[in-house]
Amino acid sequence: MNVGLALYTVRDDMEKDFKGTLQKVKEIGYTGVEFAGFSSYSSREVKAMLDEIGLEPWSSHVPLEKLRNELQDVITYHKELGVQYIVCPYLTEDERGTKTDYFDLAEELETIGNEIREAGMLLLYHNHDFEMESFDEELALDLLLRNTRTCNMALECDTFWVEYAGYKATDYLAKHKDRVPVIHVKDKKDGDIPFAEVGEGTLNIKEIIETAKSVGTQYFIVEQDVSERTPLESIAISYKNIKAMA
């Protein structure tokens, strides 16, 4: 089972010590990473760090605005780095207010995804809870997937946000069999900070993992948006628990 880390979880540590944090992630046991920015490092510099440390660059979150306006630079950087998946991570409020917004976005993502595919990578869409809003009895996220070709865009399913929106993550994964190569594994708890270390919250993580495997998921990426512990302590707990479940 391929267990990686969304480096957004350790974003503050990455800002202070980019390479040193990558080293600590590897020492905990993670084999792959998902980037959320590269500081000021070139793709060659980051690749050299990863090669030295022994981490694989599975995926990278790239803001939609950069995908729209700097796509060729994004493609060149990530191809040199060796990333498999370029991920559209988030929509601003003015980009997701209506059904028409999602239709227009699907058309954009189809075009963007086609160029990414031709470069040898795959575009993924990462969901939050707001894409689970219905328009004419269809979820916005389903609308995006229905109006893009599988070869040009797949789903990085954030199972926490599916559950947070009131849906069952296992059902949603099963609904999109063979179109979810990557999932975010994160746990949920009550309180002002709803994020918990994997295995320390209320979600049935083992069931989610087994369902994801059954629908073709290959990469399992731990993410914790906010932690009451230090991020490095949290990701160590999550890694230990997820490996025990696997």
pLDDT in tens, the chain (246 residues): 999 999 999 999 999 999 999 999 999 999 999 999 999 999 999 999 999 999 999 999 999 999 999 999 999 999 999 999 999 999 999 999 999 999 999 999 999 999 999 999 999 999 999 999 999 999 999 999 999 999 999 999 999 999 999 999 999 999 999 999 999 999 999 999 999 999 999 999 999 999 999 999 999 999 999 999 999 999 999 999 999 987
For residue 246, the model assigns a pLDDT of 77
Task: Report d(CA 19, CA 161) in Å as an integer.
Answer: 30
For residue 206, the model assigns a pLDDT of 97
> Does the predicted model carry a pTM greater than 0.75?
yes
For residue 59, the model assigns a pLDDT of 98
Judged on CB neighbours under 10 Å (0-12, 13-18, 19+), 240 is middle
In the CATH scheme, what is the homologous superfamily, with its name and number, of domain 2-245?
A: Divalent-metal-dependent TIM barrel enzymes (3.20.20.150)
Per-domain residue ranges for the chain?
Answer: 2-245
